[in-house]
Structure 1
Amino acid sequence: MAFEELLEDPVIQKYLHELVGPTGMPVAAAPPDGEVTDEELAEDLGLELNDVRRALFILYENDLATYRRLRDEDSGWLTYLWTFEYDAIPENLADEMDRLLGALEERREYEQDNEFFLCEVDSIRFEFGEAMDFGFQCPECGSPLDAMDNSRLVEAMDDRIGALRDELNVDI
């Protein structure tokens, strides 16, 4: 995928937004070609320097930006020259999807393996053992706890797990 196409993809835009937030999005959404300083970015984008630095550091932590340091021989000041490297985005997204798949499979197993009871008044859910400890009465309001059917939740998780497996080409 070409660099420009990558940045136009709504999934990638959402991913970048989740990483850097709304204040850092101008930095992430319009990376310049070649090296740039944080001061130049702040000036070009009309942003606070701290917001630019925060976004750059987040991108760096996620392997989407690199920097090199230059020391001014006269003053001793360090200048950081940043380069954006968005080639890792597809791999990062695949890793996120793998983590999501694992978490969904774990949660599905938990939902499948437990029996739940619900307080209709306070909308609090309890596992069977907890409900039994409370005498099948809500500890908050005293209302009776009713058996909860979570089969629709498990079905929705199955659908999402199936879709993620298809997208990631993962066999059962």
Structure 2
Amino acid sequence: MAFEELLEDPVIQKYLHELVGPKGMPVAAAPPDGEVTDEELAEELGLELNDVRRALFILYENDLATYRRLRDEDSGWLTYLWTFEYDAIPEQLESEMHRLLTALENRREYERNHEFYLCEECGIRFEFGEAMDFGFQCPDCGSELQSLENTRLVDAMETRIDELRDELNVETANAEI
């Protein structure tokens, strides 16, 4: 995928937005060709220098930007020249999707293997053991805790897990019934 196409992809735009936030998005969304200083970016984009530096650091932490330092011989000041490295974004997104799949599978198993009770007044959910410890009464308001059916939640997780597996071309680890 060409660099320009990467930046036009709404999924990649969302990914960058999640990383750097709204203040850093102008930095992430319009990376210049070649090296640039944080001061140049701030001036060009009309942003606060601290917002630009924060965005650059986040991009650096996520292997999406690199820098090299130059020391001014006269003043001793360091200048950082930044380069954007967006080629790895598709692989990073795939890695994130794998982490999400694992987390959803673990959560689904947790939901399947536990019995829950709900305080309908407070909206607080308790595992069976907690509910039993409280005598099936809400510790906040004293209302009776009601058995909570979480089949819809588990079904929704299974649907999302199947979608992720299809998208990632991942087979089911264990045959599930």
SS of corresponding position for 1:87: coil
Partner AA of 2:150 in structure 1: N
Q: Which residue of 2 aligns with 1:117?
A: 117
Structure-2 separation of matches of 1:53 and 1:92: 22
- Counterpart code for 1:56: L
Q: How many residues align?
A: 172
Tell me how far apart the structure 1 counterparts of residues 18 and 34 of structure 2 sit (CA, whole Å).
24
User: Which position in structure 1 is the counterpart of 2:30?
Assistant: 30
2: distance between equivalents of 1:76 and 1:135? 69
Q: Which residue of 1 aligns with 2:11?
A: 11
- How much has 1:124 moved relative to structure 2? 0.9
Runs of 4+ in structure 1 off by over 6 angstroms are none
1:49 and 1:62 map into 2 onto residues whose CA distance is 20
Question: 3-state SS of the aligned residue for 2:140?
Answer: coil
Counterpart residue number, 1:158: 158
Alpha-carbon distance in 1 for matches of 2:7, 2:130 = 49
Identity of paired residues, percent?
Answer: 83
Shift of 1:8: 0.6
The one-letter code matched in structure 2 to 1:39 is E
Residues 87-126 of structure 1: pairs in structure 2 closer than 5 A? 87-126=87-126
Listed as ranges, the gaps of 5+ residues in structure 1 are none
Task: Give distance in 1, aligned partners of 2:73 and 2:145.
Answer: 73
Give structure 2 stretches of 5+ with no counterpart: 173-177
Name the aligned partner's letter for residue 90 of structure 1.
P
Q: Which residue of 1 aligns with 2:130?
A: 130
